[in-house]
Chains A and B, each alone.
Chain A
């Protein structure tokens, strides 16, 4: 029993960990500002990678607590939700940096000029 409560306590710590991460990330992002430079890009991409990495390893995180007596579904869902929140934060940051193609200008900025049907030349008589 004691062992179980210890496990649960640990589990609580484990799902607190991504929440702390989220706050930390938010603070870092606020610090980084809204202009594109090395620091803000690094922060944003780490904010994107961390949740993705965590979501990939969601099974591994909860491996030590795998027990028939403990219901892991809720903590797992909370863990996933928090990480998705982190991911969303990262994407939002990416957008504020203007790195997401959400504007018309992103889709037409390298559109070549349209062809012209007619061709006309001339000018002063050559002298």
Chain B
């Protein structure tokens, strides 16, 4: 009996241990979060062809990343993300052990250790003027012999020791506008030739002593007719350029410093030549390529300077630099695309007709490596440059969709649960623990392709800069489908298409249940705001482009309306550069729905350069020849002009249009009520004095001030205005419910500050009579209009904050009941979650008892940073640019997607998971406990019966 009681106690003790814990433990990493590393679109690549060790390729990308990749598998050995303003101009290797990067417009030279990527030295180069920059590592320096690196940057030529990064010598060229085109090392290694242009008609050759930087000789010659841009170096003493009219090729020889020209008309080489030609950048011995309007011609240059066309390709082509394949042989590759295929051709430099490799690859924007005609690896590095994110639901479970496939069989299920029980009883061995962890991480549950009960599984639809759309599964981050949008592909009509953003187009729920959801991608042909727009619909289940077309107007604003048609397509209003509104979808039904709401729809525009915010209403027809049923004119209703000498708009933020708020009342201490002013038509505007719009430190505290406004965008009324003297941007702000939190720099305190503004509705504050409320005699649920000029009050409070930040967002849940957390993307590329309770203007140094009960924290002058509240835990989201929160179906949970160069996804429960058991809850243990209890009841019952019986016999 005593034994039974003891075992009971043990069970109870163990049960008490399984009370769910809420902070993230080490073994919970990777359970509901995933992290993906990318590097971005590659600009330069250097193949490291050393004999021993694993082969690597060194790359630099448009996202300012330098990385070393495994040439066999494509994995990242190491990478570094340089700052946003630290663009990489050139990379190379030196002394077989260093990777050299030149960045920031030729002013920073760094050496990285090749095997592990540690920085060895850094060197700042200064010069008289900004110029193009060039990194030149002499071939002899690639092996250990010599150790100087030549860098042309900021208008002067520097020789830098590759061992310590010291500047050995420096030459400022006499003519300031001298642009170095090539640095050529003479084969004796002691002399270098620097060739370049001054202006657009003078060609200069400098002969310099490589050892001490002494200028040995300077020759120059003027080219009559001038020349244009591109240069191709065809041998150590020969250059090819185009003349200014781009119709004649000039071959410039500079043997021993002597300059001679030779002219060849392109029309003599290419028969049907007309218009302009462009030299493709390449560095091949005796060969260069000229692109004309019809074709790309490859022209060989003989040692006497004779030009001869060897081949013509009818498509736009890219040429690689030459790679040595053996002692005296060099190979290069040509890439062009036609139709839907990429053609890859590898040839020997000296023998045009020898195709080492001829490949056709289906068009897809991945960076990959082709080996013996097979794609060895590919990386989806477009994901490093995301420009738009939206979500889509997965399909619901239907009869046709078999779930059983992914489900484990009963034995496995039991085995898994037994392991879990062992784990919770602390009986598991090290292997068991590993097995349990593996099971949790690989749980098939989270990566299923169907909708789940809690709404955790969704598709993240992301649009990348390259015009490729990806669907990522929220469970494990796998790419469900990817699509290179046809609409964002270069065509005759649309030369330079770019994507703008992705929007939810059709989200079927009530009606049209059997339709697939779809998203809308809006783009434009070109870079300016007056370029014509592009529209494209994509089915999110299949990843097929349903329809796409070019628009006959430009796109300055895309406004998703709170209206849907009978097939659940969301109505969108596109504002063009002339301020006219165009309604989509283009259907009579949409127009009739829209006409009903026409008088209540407004839009506003922010013109930062003019310091102007304008509000517009809509008219039923539009002016001009573009008039059709779907075009609506706009009229200006109000405008706010900021004085240009003292205020410059730097940031505006508004509430997310899909945000859900649970209640309008805020219950404060002593059962009192305050009514929040909840409006989606509010705009937060931050302005700084023009002097202070630069970097921190560029203005004194006296001359910089930050002014924040809260503007009603329907009536143009300013609800709140506050000045922060001695403060400046950058301002990052988030607007949710009735509050705004923003971050800025306080120059007087030399610290970052965060301020919260809460807006309350004073006109409803009188609704405090219980009897009237019980009887429903109140005006709290009557619709509100901005024209009724509601009286508002604001409360505000400021706090110091340690970090500078890159992005700020707020959690969002399905019904808005759960308390909110602010998600702060810190300068260290991490995401910090902070409870909104820290940003409460009612905080005071000594809160009363009732305020404490309400949950008000005592006021501190700075915000605490709790290391455990980093949602990215030990990971970094390199180059963090944005944080997107999506509500899950389960009220307590919110999904957080963070993107930059890396991607990070996790699930948060700001008020803990109060509405469900945690995933690692051991059902088996519960079951066992119940069974044991029932058994124990029976045993004790039998025992007591026996005892009674024996008592009676006594």
Contacts and interface: CB of A to CB of B under 8 A. Distances in A.
Contacts of A120: 601-604, 615, 680-681, 713-714
Contacts of A105: 665, 667, 671-673
Interface string A39-69: 0000000000000000000000000000000
A123 B673 contact: no
Interface stretch (B750-758, B763-771, B936-944): B763-771
Contacts of B143: none
Nearest to B779: A114
A103 to B, nearest CB: 4
Contacts of B783: 114-117
A6 interface: no
Contacts of B663: 108-113
Contacts of A112: 661-664, 781
B318 to A, nearest CB: 28
A63 B662 CA distance: 56
A108 B606 contact: no
A107 B597 CA distance: 33
A71 interface: no
A111 B781 contact: yes
A104 B785 CA distance: 24
B786 interface: yes
B275 interface: no
Contact of A113 (B557, B604, B654, B678): B678
A118 B782 contact: no
Contact of A111 (B562, B664, B681): B664
A115 B783 CA distance: 5
Contacts of A104: 671, 673, 767-770, 773
A119 B605 contact: no
Contact of B500 (A106, A107, A126): A126
Contacts, number: 136
A98 B854 CA distance: 13
Interface string B783-803: 111110000000000000000
B853 to A, nearest CB: 9
A120 to B, nearest CB: 4
A125 B557 contact: yes
Interface string B592-617: 00000100111111101000000100
Q: Interface residues of A toward B: which range? A: 20 to 34
A106 B768 CA distance: 10
A127 to B, nearest CB: 7
B268 to A, nearest CB: 45
B501 interface: yes
Contacts of B782: 114
A27 interface: no
Contact of B529 (A106, A121, A126): A126
A5 interface: no
A122 to B, nearest CB: 4
Contacts of B354: none
Contacts of B310: none
B559 interface: yes
A113 B561 CA distance: 19
Interface in A84-114: 98, 101-114
Nearest to B677: A113
Contact of A108 (B654, B714, B773, B785): B773
Interface in B679-697: 679-681, 683
A105 B601 CA distance: 34
B558 interface: yes
B280 to A, nearest CB: 30
Contacts of A110: 662-663
Interface string B550-561: 000001111111
Contacts of B680: 116, 119-120
Contact of A117 (B652, B661, B662, B784): B784
B353 interface: no
Interface in B569-589: 575, 577
A114 B673 contact: no
A113 B659 CA distance: 12
B85 interface: no
Interface residues of B, number: 57
B780 interface: yes
Contact of B770 (A98, A102, A113, A118): A102
A126 B714 CA distance: 21
B657 interface: yes
Contacts of A98: 671
Nearest to B676: A113
B774 interface: yes
Contact of B556 (A102, A119, A126): A126
Nearest to B784: A114
Given A107-B774, A112-B662, A126-B501, A118 B604 contact: no
B371 to A, nearest CB: 40
Contacts of B561: 119
Contacts of A103: 671, 673, 770
Contacts of B713: 120-122
Contact of A116 (B575, B597, B784): B784
B224 to A, nearest CB: 43
Interface string B482-519: 00000000000000000011000000000000000000
B600 A119 contact: yes
Interface string B633-652: 00000000000000000001
Contacts of B654: 121, 123
B786 A118 contact: yes
Interface in B522-553: 529
B396 to A, nearest CB: 28
B557 A119 contact: no
A115 to B, nearest CB: 4
Given A105-B672, A114-B783, A114-B784, A123 B606 contact: yes
B501 A119 contact: no
Contacts of B785: 116-118
Given A104-B768, A108-B767, A111-B781, A122 B604 contact: yes
B605 A125 contact: yes
A74 B743 CA distance: 75
Contacts of B575: 122
Contacts of B714: 118, 120
Contact of B679 (A107, A108, A116): A116
A88 B605 CA distance: 63
Nearest to B667: A105
Nearest to B654: A123
Contacts of A101: 770
Contact of A127 (B529, B769, B780): B529
Given A108-B673, A126-B558, A118 B681 contact: yes
Nearest to B597: A119
Contacts of B786: 116-118
Contacts of A119: 561-562, 597, 600-602, 680-681
A124 to B, nearest CB: 5
Nearest to A35: B853
Nearest to A119: B601
Query: Among the interface residues A111, A114, A116, A121, which one has the most CB atoms of the partner chain B within 10 A?
Result: A121
Contacts of B559: 121-122
A102 B529 CA distance: 58
B350 to A, nearest CB: 47
A108 B780 CA distance: 9
Interface of A: 98, 101-127
18 contacts: A103-B671, A105-B665, A108-B773, A108-B780, A111-B664, A113-B664, A113-B678, A116-B783, A116-B785, A117-B786, A119-B681, A120-B601, A120-B602, A121-B559, A121-B657, A122-B604, A124-B606, A125-B605
| A-B pairs with lowest CB-CB distance, top 4 | A103-B671, A120-B602, A122-B604, A107-B773
Given A109-B663, A118-B600, A118-B681, 19 more contacts: A103-B671, A104-B767, A105-B667, A105-B671, A110-B662, A111-B780, A113-B678, A114-B781, A114-B783, A115-B784, A116-B784, A117-B600, A118-B601, A118-B714, A120-B603, A120-B615, A122-B559, A123-B683, A125-B605
